[in-house]
Structure 1
Amino acid sequence: MRLRRTRSTAATAPRPAAALAGALVVAAVLGCSAPASEVRDEAVPDEGATSASGGSTPSGDVTTGPSLDPAYAVDPPGRFKALPRTADVVVQTQETIDEETLAEIERIPGVAAVEQFSMLQVSIENRVLNVAAVDPATYRRYAPGQLPQNQEIWDRVAAGELAVGRAVARRLPLDDDDFLQLTSEVPPIHLGVMAPQIENAVDAVVNEKWGEALGATPGNALLVSSELTVAPEVVAEPLTKMLPKDSSIERLDAVARYGLDPDAVQTAQVVGSLADAIGVFTYRPIGGGRIAPDPAWVRTHISTQSVPILGDVTCNNAIFPQLRAALEEIVTAGLADEIKRDQYAGCYYPRFIAGSTSLSNHSFGTALDLNVPGNLRGTVGEMDRVVVSIFKKWGFAWGGDWSYTDPMHFEMARIVRPS
């Protein structure tokens, strides 16, 4: 599906995108055979990229990573000729936003421009990332700071590379060539750009071809820019009447103050092998790092059942067949004593990752923590490696394999059904 791109709907001049604190930006090419552009907090005279050796990479002349598949490339965006805009409201719905609704939104008094794209969530090492699948030529207008004018960034996204912020990039399990497995159903994507994203709304950006491959719902998200003299809540309120009740309509001015808009429903549409098990997950933040999921989702996806060794546990319904099978095999192998019932720390626990606004897989009930005292984060841990291998056989990933280890943590990585 080719999304319709919208233009400014107001005659007033657009606002510049919000500047990064205290700095302009430059893209610096890092590495050797698989370089990534990194936005640094330095002033530069133009929108070109500075190479690791100190030379200049002209705009539009981009060195991409090795073996980029042209099947995931879109047309390069060309030079930036528009003016930047501020993203004031971000919207995510469960279905495609149709043309008629989009036209209504464009006519809301105070709306200056609307950008339609696809939003999806991927789970990587117990952290759920918001991924925007975009048209680089038009989405770039809403990027922060001087990023709209940085040609290399958007050429690389168009070529099929991933753009993320530096803080997110540090947590990603990249291979030696800076490729990342977003889901098991698609090939790895190359990390091409480290650049700030729309804070607490977008963690990573890919082009529309990647969105389609990942299984994103086409056109289920919007960025809305309001006129210079109009507060975001003025345009956000009419959106609640035009869009389905379970839509996420988040004012980014509130995000800047609180980390998340406290009045907005949040939506997670997790793609990959667990999409059917998780479904569409809506929730509200309730403070203290906790969330309140939609009670209807909880009723249909979460239950308490008895399993070997641990007894009664509360998890996602989809996890029980393979969890039960793994624990039964551990008992048969004579290793039941390696799992301490009194050191089990739970499965379904609706919360964010500590100190962040990223969901944990515990929020979906698809992860469990075992033998907590001897298996703290950042340690090798004490988990019996045969126990670990049995869990892996039954479709679980183990946090002890991660770059920042979490050896107590096992999460359902794929569906495995006992025969």
Structure 2
Amino acid sequence: MQAWGSARGRALATGVLLLSLALAACGEETPRAKPPADATGSSSSSPSSPSSGQPTVADPAHSVPPPGKIEGCCQGADILVYSQEPLSDDMTSQIRKIDGIDATEPLSLAQVAIENRVITIGAVDPASYRRFARSDIAQLQEVWDRVAGGELAIDTPLGKKLQDDAGFLKLGNDQDAARVHIGAYALQVPQVDAVVNEKWAETLGMRRGNALLVSTDLTSPQVVQDKIQKIVGKDLSVQILGPDLDLSATQTAFLTGGSVAEAVGTFSYRVIGGGRITPESSWVSENIRSEPVPILGTVTCHKVMIPQLRAALLEVQSRGLADKIHPGEYAGCFYPRFIANTTQLSLHSFGIALDMNVPGNQRGTVGEMDRDVVAIFKKWGFAWGGDWGYTDPMHFEMNRLVDVR
């Protein structure tokens, strides 16, 4: 049985798909978003601009030609091949020739950090990628018109949790990370949280063509998984798609979205149970350090963050605020794991976040963190979880590189 379903075996779903009808201009001003509208998952959805018959382009700098009506719907998204580097033409050609593979679709994949939650985003060709979405969503024209027009389509619960008041999502935890408007709430292919069109790949610093969706139609994906793995090598991720993460597959963490993400680097990892992961040892030895810092003592973090953390704590100490940070209530920095009850990595997995004064600063509260301490950490390149829509006042994460002298 296929993990995501095949074109022959699926019936149209009747669930409701929420579409955000707010269009965003590309510029400094944030337009006022209209409330989301409800639309059924049918193929008769009207275009964004009924008067002209052409969909409205929300972001001209990131737009591609509209996809037009879908033809040949649909393919099952059964296997995802994911690499840190672009897949070669020869590699993808060999995969397509495997008996039992019905169709393939190249895309670019990376992770972006949003409020300590690392989500997977795909840069896709909306005209061809839509064939791999669930059939009701594949046929809903407005979703793909909006992706072509520069907007983002995202799973409904995640989008509603992370969007700002104007319906935008900041793609990365860097202070100056790009923002994209949410054009549609739409269920995505398993293990992909959101999609934009391929014009966004350059803006986000993504590796072009580093992933491949594979449809096996009536063939079980397990039959071809090992054959694909032999072609791409044992270190690349070849995972069978479904509602749960394929625990047998090597996974790839490719953080993107700005200078901090670039400095952190990319690693492969294995899932070891209990919500934890094991990053590849070469990345850990190259990047993770245990060093002494003021107030907290020895910390284990990414090497790019430690100088800024040390500078922030030195200033806290020099200004007589050391008693506002409680070393016994420090909950760590490098802790490779998923966000609870998800398969989305935490920024602690990259060693660029830390939790302090835990008991009095629980999620969803204003917290007791001293605001002068918060201001000092912001000065030295950290974002504070207390500023988020769903607050996390114990949490600080690196959001820009600061030259420490």
1:264 corresponds to 2:249:
yes
Match of 1:297, SS state, is: helix
Match of 1:390, SS state, is: helix
Residues 59, 152 of structure 1: 8 Å contact kept: no
Higher mean C-alpha deviation, range 26-35 or range 366-375: 26-35
Q: CA RMSD in A?
A: 2.3
Other-structure match for 1:4: none
Residues 16 and 280 of structure 1: CA distance in aligned 2, closer, same or farther (over 3 Å): farther
Residues 173, 402 of structure 1: 8 Å contact kept: no
Match of 1:160, SS state, is: coil
7, 15, 18: which is aligned to 1:15? 7
Residues 374, 382 of structure 1: 8 Å contact kept: yes
1:338 corresponds to 2:328:
no
CA distance in 2, matches of 1:251, 1:39: 32
Other-structure match for 1:273: 259
Other-structure match for 1:326: 312
1:223 corresponds to 2:220:
no
Match of 2:262, SS state, is: helix
Match of 2:333, SS state, is: coil
1:166 corresponds to 2:151:
no
Q: Normalization by structure 2: what TM-score?
A: 0.90
Residues 29, 50 of structure 1: 8 Å contact kept: no
Deviation at 1:345, TM superposition (A): 0.6
Match of 2:310, SS state, is: helix
1:179 corresponds to 2:168:
yes
1:118 corresponds to 2:108:
yes
CA distance in 2, matches of 1:265, 1:235: 16
Give the letter for the 1:339 counterpart: I
What stretches of structure 1 move > 3 A for 4+ residues in a row? 16-20, 24-40, 56-64, 183-187
189, 198, 202: which is aligned to 1:198? 189
Residues 270 and 60 of structure 1: CA distance in aligned 2, closer, same or farther (over 3 Å): farther
340, 346, 352: which is aligned to 1:366? 352
Residues 29, 49 of structure 1: 8 Å contact kept: no
Q: Normalization by structure 1: what TM-score?
A: 0.87
Other-structure match for 1:79: 69
Give the letter for the 1:391 counterpart: F
Other-structure match for 2:236: 247
Residues 338 and 202 of structure 1: CA distance in aligned 2, closer, same or farther (over 3 Å): same
Residues 152, 196 of structure 2: 8 Å contact kept: yes
Residues 24, 145 of structure 1: 8 Å contact kept: no
CA distance in 2, matches of 1:321, 1:87: 44
Match of 2:359, SS state, is: helix
Other-structure match for 2:45: 48
Other-structure match for 2:26: none
Residues 58 and 157 of structure 1: CA distance in aligned 2, closer, same or farther (over 3 Å): farther
Match of 2:400, SS state, is: coil
1:404 corresponds to 2:390:
yes
Deviation at 1:297, TM superposition (A): 1.3
1:297 corresponds to 2:287:
no
CA distance in 2, matches of 1:161, 1:124: 17
Match of 2:80, SS state, is: strand
Question: What runs of 5+ residues in structure 2 fail to find an aligned partner?
Answer: 1-5, 24-31
Deviation at 1:222, TM superposition (A): 0.5
CA distance in 1, matches of 2:9, 2:318: 61
CA distance in 1, matches of 2:113, 2:328: 28
Once the two structures are superposed, the pairs formed by residues 61-76 of structure 1 within 5 Å of their partners are 61-63=54-56, 68-76=58-66
106, 121, 137: which is aligned to 1:147? 137
Deviation at 1:25, TM superposition (A): 4.7
Give the letter for the 1:196 counterpart: L
**Which string of whole-angstrom CA distances, capped at 9 and with x for unpartnered residues, describes residues 179-232 of structure 1?**
222134554211111111113x1000000001121111000000000031x110
Question: What runs of 5+ residues in structure 1 fail to find an aligned partner?
Answer: 1-13
Deviation at 1:47, TM superposition (A): 2.4
